[in-house]
Chain A
Amino acid sequence: MSRRTAAGAAVTVVLAAVWALAAYGLWRSSVPDLHLPRLDPRAYFSPEQLHDSARYSRGLRLLWVLATVAQLGALALFARFGVRWARESAAGRAGTGMLLGMLGFALVWAAQLPFAVLEVWWGRHNGLTTQSYLAVTLGNWLALGGTFVFLCFALAVVMGFAGPLGDWWWLPAAPCFIALALLFSFVTPYLLGGHRLDDPGLRAASVRLERIEGVQHVPIRVVEGMNEPNAVATGLGPSRRVFLWDTIVEPPFTNREVRVVIAHELGHLAHNHIWRQVGWYALFAFPGAFLVALGTRRRGGMRRPEAVPLSLLVLVALNLVALPLRNLITRHMEAEADWSALRATRDPVGARGLFETFVPTTLMQPDPPTWDYVLLENHPTIMQRLSMVQAYAASEAQSP
């Protein structure tokens, strides 16, 4: 082994150790070792509910598989033949790369459009949405513009660094992407809008929960015009907000259940999950960018616009490969937020009611198949959440 190889191996080992140490730090959770029992869905849901949710979820899974195949197929074709669109550019090296990148995403949109429309049909068929097909099509088409802006920025960074640095562009580019993720996390709350909670009881409860969870002065906003019940916590520092979809603050959800939702979202903020998400992104940005650089070498590297179509395929394939790991991380954080909500509300009945109501309102399968769980579920399953509620109730009962 030459000295140079040995030094390279040593650096790699050190970097891997640093990476593992950082990952360990981010993984740490306040959830105790609960030994969650495996519950029987039939004890919580009627046979009709289980049948309907299984049927609906099967349809969604099928559409996801087809859309993913279409996406990979479109990108593979684009990686092979997309270079010919370079002649439609008068924008120089970086601008041509941007055009090719945008066209790649545009073709993916076109390839996935039938499945997006089918998904709306499936949702309408099962009474979950009233979205019109035109709104979905046109909305997605216009949303491409927003995607393109970020894509152009990303490609400008990559190709800008690839010019002078060649295949080492990923070293300075990854921090830029991390900075962009930070910026995006910070500004997202300002883009969502919404209005304050109408219910004075919920407003008072949210102030109390903020105090308990140690995250004071977090505005709770309600976003109108949504389809499925949901909520998100987002923002960093002064931009921190909790957004409740209007569909979760109205029946069949009760105020008691909404309090659990608010506590869950405040739990995300209390445990710095947004920062940790950025942290995880940072951990994956360096190896991800390095792999893209490696994958595009045979097209001359990212300094050449011809490499852009292939880079999209590599990027999407990497994302797909990383999907189980990403879901594992988000499920871990969601479980911590659930536990935090239970401790803040001390209301396992409310939490159980919330999770049970999710099944008829979203047709979410309480106990999906393993491959679905690994690839598609970024939250614990309903049965896992109910199991945690049961564990919490048991621990409360045992405590003096």
Chain B
Amino acid sequence: MGRMNEHPIRLSVEDDLRRNRLTVFFRLILAIPHFIWAFIWGVAVFFAAIANWFATLVAGTPPASLHRFLSAYVRYLAHLNAYIWLVANPYPGFVGEEGEYPIDVTLPPPAVQERWKVLLRIFLMLPALFLSATLGGVGAIRAPYRGKGGRYGGGGGGALSAVCGILGWFAVLATGRMPKGLRDAGAYSVGYGAQVLAYVLLVTDRYPNSDPTAMLAGVERPPQHPVYLVGDAHDLRRSRVLVFFRLPLAIPHLVWLALWTVVAILVGIVNWFATLFAGTPPRSLHRFFAAYVRYTLHVYAFLFLAANPFPGFVGAAGTYPLDLVLPEPTRQNRWVTGFRIFLAVPAYLVNAALGGTLLIAAILTWFAALVTGSAPWGLRNLSAYALRYGAQFDAYVFLLTDRYPHASPLEGAEETQPTFDEPA
């Protein structure tokens, strides 16, 4: 059992991936009444949250009536987000009923909260809000700013669920089903957003847990992808000196990686023609790209603090705590090879969205590791998810496999897979 399962706010996913094409096509228009209602309710929640803060600070426990009101709002926004981003199919209700929607959150009853945490909540919530903003669940920041020409815009991201929702929109219109990977990623965003909002509104004093594996504990794991992570996931120790100087220490690797990438792109063109002609990538080129993709993973795992030690420069297998299993050269579908660069565009968008999440997770880990000397478990697993997807994307682009990257935050299910469970 992971620590996430002990979190008082739990996500339940009862969705069957089927979608109604008509409601998906008009999804945003259909949601307009909800947007208006969410705004009106949000105004009331703003004042209720202030009252709740004072009351909790004085009494040590949120008043039951306010807790009920705010909990319903948290649940309602989870339903609404799930609907907007195609994580669920049915039209949601307007009052945030529990157990009435396929994507739901279980919220705890009012409980005693530590007063200092209540007092400092506005500061304590910031890291979680930044992360949530890149995921785009409930609580995503939309900080207004004045852009060029005096126009106001929104910033902060929400990229992952938005990208998954937009890509899912096309997929559903074509097939009538939401791809599981995109659904799982969206569900994770919704769940984390709900935890963040509940924390902000003092529904709970438990800090949001960013561990995607634990968040989707009840969700069926996808089939194993031929490109997957191995290594010692439980090695959370981080050297403070290496953490402090992480960026400059990584620069020689980034320079080397940039040079390698130039060569990889040129060799990649040769590999593309060879694979298109022969149906299978030449073994020597496959080995070259396997080292390149593995090295990229090592460098990014080091740079983004998903792993501790300084990596080697050659992408050797089995040399790094966060490593990659890559497939042997196999026959690939020539159509998929021929149109690989176009087929990779949706995966590129997901990868870019996860890149933003990875960056924020790394910044938060940097601060945490400097103080504690170890990486937070949840952030480490979130980073590993983003890195895994990036490696699958690279492997797909460079023809190491013709299997499409899987966007689910869950590792594929097979006995050889590592389980990123709670460290002892």
Does A142 have its Cβ within 8 Å of any Cβ on chain B? yes
Identify which of B103-111, B309-317, B407-415 touches chain A: B309-317
B residues in contact with A151, CB < 8 Å: 252
Q: Which residues of A contact B319 (CB under 8 A)?
A: 90, 92
Contact in complex: B245, A149 (CB < 8 Å): no
B93 CB → nearest A CB, Å: 51
Q: Is B29 an interface residue (CB 8 A)?
A: no
Taking a contact as CB atoms under 8 Å apart, the answer to whether B248 and A88 are in contact is: no
Instruction: Kindly specify which of A94-102, A274-282, A363-371 makes contact with the partner chain.
Output: A94-102
- A90 and B248 within 8 A (CB): no
Select A90's contact among B239, B251, B309, beta carbons within 8 Å.
B309
With A88-B308, A88-B309, A89-B310 in contact, do A103 and B241 touch (Cβ < 8 Å)? yes
Q: Does A26 contact B (CB under 8 A)?
A: no
B192 at the interface (CB under 8 A from A): no
Flag if B252 contacts A152 (CB, 8 Å).
yes
Across the interface, name the chain B residue whose C-beta is closest to A103: B241
Most buried by A among B308, B310, B320: B310
With known contacts A145-B248, A149-B252, A95–B241 Cβ distance under 8 A: no
A91 to B295, CA, bound (A): 11
- In the complex, the answer to whether B249 meets A148 with C-beta atoms within 8 Å is yes
Q: Assuming A90-B319, A103-B245, A106-B241, is B251 touching A145 (CB within 8 A)?
A: yes
Are the C-beta atoms of B249 and A99 separated by less than 8 Å?
Answer: yes
B255 lies within 8 A of chain A by Cβ? yes
Q: Which residue of A lies closest to B255 (CB)?
A: A149
A149 touches B310 (CB 8 A): no
* Contact partner, B310, options A99, A107, A144, A145, Cβ 8 Å: A99
A141 to B310, CA, bound (A): 19
User: Of B245, B255, B309, B321, which contacts A102 at CB under 8 A?
Assistant: B245
Residue of B nearest to A107 (CB): B241
Partner of A98 from B252, B309, B320 at Cβ < 8 Å: B252
Residues of B243-262 contacting chain A, CB below 8 A: 245, 247-249, 251-252, 255
Contact A90 B245 (CB under 8 A): no
Choice from A91, A94, A98, A144 contacting B245 with Cβ under 8 Å: A144
Question: CB < 8 Å: which of A88, A141, A149 contacts B239?
Answer: A88
In the assembled complex, A27 has its CB within 8 A of some CB on chain B? no
CA distance A85 to B238 in the complex (A): 12
Considering the complex, which residues of chain B in the window 312-339 have a beta carbon less than 8 Å from any beta carbon of chain A?
Answer: 312-313, 319-321
**In the complex the two chains form, what is the Cα distance from A149 to B245 in whole Å?**
14
Name the A residues within 8 Å of B276 (CB-CB).
none
Name the distance in Å between A85's Cβ and chain B's nearest Cβ.
7
Contacts of A146 in B (CB 8 A): 251
Q: List B residues 21-77 near A (Cβ within 8 Å).
A: none
Residues of B within 8 A of A149 (CB): 251-252, 255
| A binding-site residues for B, Cβ under 8 Å | 85, 88-92, 94-96, 98-99, 102-103, 106-107, 141-142, 144-149, 151-152
Q: State the Cβ distance, A29 to closest chain B Cβ, in Å.
A: 40
B147 to chain A, nearest CB (A): 26
B242 interface hit (Cβ, 8 Å):
yes
A88 near B249 (CB under 8 angstroms)? no
30 A-B pairs (CB sep. < 8 Å)? A88-B239, A88-B242, A88-B308, A88-B309, A88-B310, A89-B309, A90-B310, A90-B311, A90-B312, A91-B309, A91-B311, A91-B312, A92-B312, A92-B319, A94-B313, A96-B310, A98-B252, A102-B245, A102-B249, A103-B242, A106-B241, A106-B245, A106-B249, A142-B248, A144-B245, A145-B247, A145-B248, A149-B255, A151-B252, A152-B252
The interface of chain B, by Cβ under 8 A from chain A, is 239, 241-242, 245, 247-249, 251-252, 255, 308-313, 319-321
In chain A, what residue has the closest Cβ to B237? A88
Residues from chain A with Cβ under 8 Å of B321 in the complex: 90
With both beta carbons as reference points, the residue of chain B lying nearest to A88 in the complex is identified as B239
**Which residues of A are found within 8 Å of B320, using beta-carbon distances?**
90
B252 nearest in chain A by CB position: A152
Is B239 within 8 A of A85, CB to CB? yes
Of the listed residues A98, A107, A144, A148, the one surrounded by the most CB atoms of chain B closer than 10 A to its CB is A148
* Residues of chain A with a CB closer than 8 A to B245's CB: 102-103, 106, 144
Q: Is the CB of B248 within 8 A of A141?
A: yes
Question: When A90-B309, A91-B312, A99-B310 are in contact, do A85 and B252 touch as well, CB less than 8 Å?
Answer: no
Residues of A within 8 A of B311 (CB): 90-91, 95
**B313 touching A102, Cβ below 8 Å:** no
What's the least CB distance linking B390 to chain A, in Å?
19
Bound together, the chains give a CA A374 to CA B291 distance in angstroms of 52
Which residues on A sit within 8 Å (CB–CB) of B249? Answer: 99, 102-103, 106, 148
- A42 CA / B140 CA spacing, docked (Å): 69
Q: Please, which residues of chain B bring their CB within 8 A of the CB of A91?
A: 309-313
Minimum CB–CB distance from A344 to chain B (whole Å) comes to 41
Q: Which residues from B are CB-within-8-Å of A152?
A: 252
Task: Give the most central of B245, B309, B311: most A CB within 10 Å.
Answer: B245
Chain B residues contacting A88 (CB-CB under 8 Å) are 239, 242, 308-310
| Chain A residues with CB under 8 A of B312 | 90-92, 95
**Given A88-B239, A90-B321, A102-B245, do A148 and B308 touch, yes or no (CB 8 Å)?**
no
**Shortest Cβ distance from residue B245 to the other chain A in the assembled complex, whole angstroms:** 5
CA of A2 to CA of B378, assembled, Å: 71
Q: How far is the CA of A146 from the CA of B321 in the complex (A)?
A: 27
Closest A-chain residue to B312, C-beta based?
Answer: A91
CA distance A147 to B239 in the complex (A): 22
- State A392–B309 Cα separation when bound (angstroms): 62
A148 to B256, CA, bound (A): 12
Closest to B316 in A: A92
Beta-carbon contact of B310 and A95 below 8 Å: yes
B248 touches A144 (CB 8 A): yes
With both beta carbons as reference points, the residue of chain A lying nearest to B318 in the complex is identified as A90
B281 to chain A, nearest CB (A): 27
